[in-house]
Amino acid sequence: MATADLEGVVAQVLNRLKDGEIKRGDPPKNPKGTFKAVADAVAAARSSQTTLIALPLEKRREIVANIRRRAAEDVRSLAEMAHEETKLGRVEDKIKKNLLVIHKTPGPEILEPLAYTGDDGLTLIERAPYGVIASITPCTNPTETIINNGLSMLAGGNTVVYNPHPLAKGVSSYCVDLINRASMEVGGPENIMTIMGNPTIESANELLRFKGIRLNVVTGGPAVVQAAFAAGKKCIAGGPGNPPVVVDETADLEQAARGIVSGASFDNNIICCDEKEVFAVDKIYDRLVEGLQRHGAVLLRNHQITRLQKLILQPDGRHTRHEWVGKSASAYLKEIDVPFRGDPRLIICEVPFDHPFVQTELLMPILGVVRVKDVHEGIDLAVEAEHGFGHTASMYSKNIDALHRMARVVNCSIFVKNAPNYAGLGYGGEGYTSFTIASPTGEGLTTARHFTRERRCTLAGYFRYV
Ligand code: NAD
């Protein structure tokens, strides 16, 4: 689906929600695909994978299409339940995120075969399923990751067992139930995706080490990435980020201010790709900060920054207090007695480079803005602040040399030029989406291609037509 079409769908859904036309579903009493024991969840997924690969490919396409349809119809439940359960982010942004994965996760069409023909005959290279895949999902994008991973894995002929974040287990289980019903409705198997009803770190590790599962996929912070590597199997890991933005003196400042506020406030900044800190060159710094305020950001004074720091950071001054992750800007402002009007999207703070609002992945709508003397200093500090995650970075500039340099030295899975970072996820930018950006293991935006393995079939001496 093209970006303009997706924006149309989002607008339509938001209007229908406002008019009360789309009703919220009730959680099922016995959700399909939810299991207590890891072994049972794996066995059920294995049995359904045997059924799945015996079905015609056309049926697989039909199942994928029906999951998209049913998830889109129930997008309000997915967004509201995730918000109620996790207390993170904003419902209207969760609707956008869910519609993005529903419509822009590639299906089986991305698995193009490759053929070589010549004097020695025909060799065909195809992508085959791994079988059952284990997937560990985050609380920040619970249903988005399940839908996105799930459609890609299913497109490749796999089934999947999820260990969701305990904070989002209800909505995750609801989402898997919806997916299984959508599969069965068009003649697909039940348990095409299964999930742990009572997920823990222990069940995650049991799943990651489960015999017979050939591929682990994890999406989360540093601990789960380490756990995946420690399991001693092939893994695809989407890890943490700390995306910097550089703004230089050639930038369209109106575009930069609008884009930064929109990107950094998206779902209250809980998405790993959201803008986390800004480096603005001295020449345009004041005008950029003024523009950010004009677009709805609230600028704090120094004593207010100190109070905010105490509120959201642990006594070590570096780690966040979990209870403050992903709240709306108004919640922080109320707590530190800063007056505001309406529902501000973002808080901005003028800080030095070594400040925790620059160095720490806050996952809050709070953005550190650093003054730099020129674009080169901005790029160098941005690379440092990204901490080598290789995740996401962006830049507002019309200087092709500066853009080129930043792209090369920051060397991230996603580099966005002159747009909010979510454009790099396919929202307002070209290309498909993924909610597992695998930087530690190098796949970048994951698709069915990564959840399948290469198989070569050679016929010597025949089928050369040229
Ligand atoms: P989290 O790391 O707390 O949890 C993610 C998942 O890992 C959860 O299911 C959790 O239960 C599990 N987990 C955590 N520690 C574990 C351990 N030691 N062993 C086994 N499982 C473990 O992350 P979160 O708060 O849910 O999500 C936010 C983090 O995830 C941020 O750091 C963000 O940047 C990152 N993230 C990355 C991507 C990506 O695509 N690269 C996408 C979303 C989120």
- pLDDT by residue (tens digit) across 206-216? 999 999 999 99
Per-residue buried b or exposed e for 178-188, using 16+ beta carbons within 10 Å of the residue's own CB:
bbbbbbbeeeb
pLDDT value, residue 181? 98
Q: How confident is the model at residue 22 (pLDDT cuts 50, 70, 90)?
A: low
pLDDT value, residue 18? 64
Written as one string, the DSSP assignment of 307-332 is HHHHHHB-TTSSSBPGGGTT--HHHH
Token pair, residue 407, equals: 């792209």
User: Pick from 463, 348, 453, 449: which is nearest to 105 by CA?
Assistant: 449
Q: Whose CA is nearest to atom 26 of ligand 1?
A: 138
Q: What is the mean pLDDT of residues 84-91?
A: 98
pLDDT value, residue 6? 77
Tracing tokens 């293991």 back to the chain, one arrives at 441
Q: How many angstroms does the Cα of residue 275 sit away from the middle of ligand 1?
A: 18
- The residues spanned by each domain of the chain are 3-239+443-457, 244-429
Helix (H) or strand (E) holding 260: helix 253-264
pLDDT value, residue 12? 73
Lowest mean pLDDT among 21-35, 75-89, 268-282: 21-35
Spatial contact of 347 and 329, defined as CB atoms under 8 Å apart = yes
Residue 163 CA: which ligand 1 atom is closest?
Answer: 9
Q: How many angstroms does the Cα of residue 139 sit away from the middle of ligand 1?
A: 7
pLDDT digits (tens, 9 = 90+) for 197-208: 999 999 999 999
Q: Whose CA is nearest to atom 14 of ligand 1?
A: 224
Residue 200 CA: which ligand 1 atom is closest?
Answer: 11
Residues with CB under 6 A from ligand 1: 136-141, 163-166, 201, 204-205, 219-221, 223-224, 227, 238-241, 272, 361, 435-437
Q: How many angstroms does the Cα of residue 141 sit away from the middle of ligand 1?
A: 10
Token pair, residue 349, equals: 């703070």
- Encode 37-54 in three state secondary structure: CHHHHHHHHHHHHHHHHH
How many Å apart are CA 264 and CA 244, to the nearest integer?
A: 11
Q: How many angstroms does the Cα of residue 111 sit away from the middle of ligand 1?
A: 28
Lowest mean pLDDT among 130-139, 391-400, 457-466: 457-466
How many Å apart are CA 178 and CA 378, to the nearest integer?
A: 46
Q: What is the mean pLDDT of residues 423-446?
A: 98
Spatial contact of 124 and 456, defined as CB atoms under 8 Å apart = yes
Q: How many angstroms does the Cα of residue 237 sit away from the middle of ligand 1?
A: 10
- DSSP character for 28? P
Q: How many angstroms does the Cα of residue 396 sit away from the middle of ligand 1?
A: 29
**Phi, psi for 328 (deg, rounded to 5):** -75, 155
Would you say how long the chain is, in residues? 466
Residue 164 CA: which ligand 1 atom is closest?
Answer: 9
The CATH number given to 244-429 is: 3.40.309.10
Alpha carbon distances (Å) from 378 to 108, 278, 349: 42, 9, 17
Residue 237 CA: which ligand 1 atom is closest?
Answer: 41
Residue 333, number of CB atoms within 10 A of its CB:
18
Residue 141 CA: which ligand 1 atom is closest?
Answer: 43
Q: What is the mean pLDDT of residues 51-75?
A: 98
Residue 391, number of CB atoms within 10 A of its CB:
26
pLDDT value, residue 340? 95
Q: How confident is the model at residue 21 (pLDDT cuts 50, 70, 90)?
A: low
Spatial contact of 346 and 300, defined as CB atoms under 8 Å apart = no
Domain 3-239+443-457 has CATH 3.40.605.10: yes
Q: What percent of the chain has pLDDT over 70?
A: 96
Task: Assess whether pLDDT exceeds 60 at residue 356.
Answer: yes
Spatial contact of 413 and 391, defined as CB atoms under 8 Å apart = yes
Amino acid, res. 32: K
How many Å apart are CA 197 and CA 28, to the nearest integer?
A: 13
Q: What percent of the chain has pLDDT over 90?
A: 92
Indicate the angle between helix axes 91-104 and 57-73, nearest 10 degrees: 170
pLDDT digits (tens, 9 = 90+) for 117-163: 999 999 999 999 999 999 999 999 999 999 999 999 999 999 999 99
Residue 241 CA: which ligand 1 atom is closest?
Answer: 34
Residue 416 DSSP SS3: strand
Q: How many angstroms does the Cα of residue 452 sit away from the middle of ligand 1?
A: 23
Q: Whose CA is nearest to atom 13 of ligand 1?
A: 224
Tracing tokens 């995750």 back to the chain, one arrives at 172
* 339 Cβ neighbours under 8 A, 6+ residues apart: 333
**Burial tier of 19 (Cβ tally within 10 Å: 0-12, 13-18, 19+):** exposed
pLDDT value, residue 28? 77
- DSSP character for 27? P
